[in-house]
Structure 1
């Protein structure tokens, strides 16, 4: 797989570390109970289509990225710097 880093250009995915879904999860309150915490920590939707993920370019420029990836074909789409995504949503 290849990932198009906005700073370094297209690179092999082995240069990156997958860090999870990019969607913001609502953290349960401290007294929410075990089921709410289990759901928060372990359960995610199994999307058969495009999903946004967090990746870290640890063997390159050290940037945090938000990458669109098709969960069926594993093909990457748009890749943006995470700081740009955060600014746009603020």
Structure 2
């Protein structure tokens, strides 16, 4: 289980949080992409090995949205930021 250090509530287990997905670059202009590229952007989530940035909502706590820098293999959390 992940232990997430909320900047407002302190260390809490991941059961208090809801996963919000990867912290992505801004949404691309659909007119600048092919249909296949647009469908891929909408439906194929990134699943890299290594460090990723993810969004987590402290649903059973303060309600803040956090951005975590987490290693997908070790689940080590290197950074927690409020907001984007």
TM class, shorter-chain normalised? 0.7 to 0.9
Change (3 A) 1:32 1:5: same
Contact 1:28 1:40 in 2 (8 A): no
- Number of residue pairs matched by the alignment: 83
Provide the rounded CA distance (Å) in 2 between the counterparts of 1:75 and 1:53.
Answer: 13
Provide the rounded CA distance (Å) in 2 between the counterparts of 1:78 and 1:6.
Answer: 11
List gaps (5 residues or longer) in structure 1.
86-90
Normalized per residue, the structure richer in helix is 1
With normalisation by structure 1, the TM-score equals: 0.79
Q: Which moved more, 1:36-45 or 1:53-62?
A: 36-45
With normalisation by structure 2, the TM-score equals: 0.84
List gaps (5 residues or longer) in structure 2.
none
Contact 1:28 1:36 in 2 (8 A): no
Computed over aligned residues only, the root mean square deviation of the Cα atoms, in angstroms, reads 1.8
Provide the rounded CA distance (Å) in 1 between the counterparts of 2:20 and 2:54.
Answer: 7
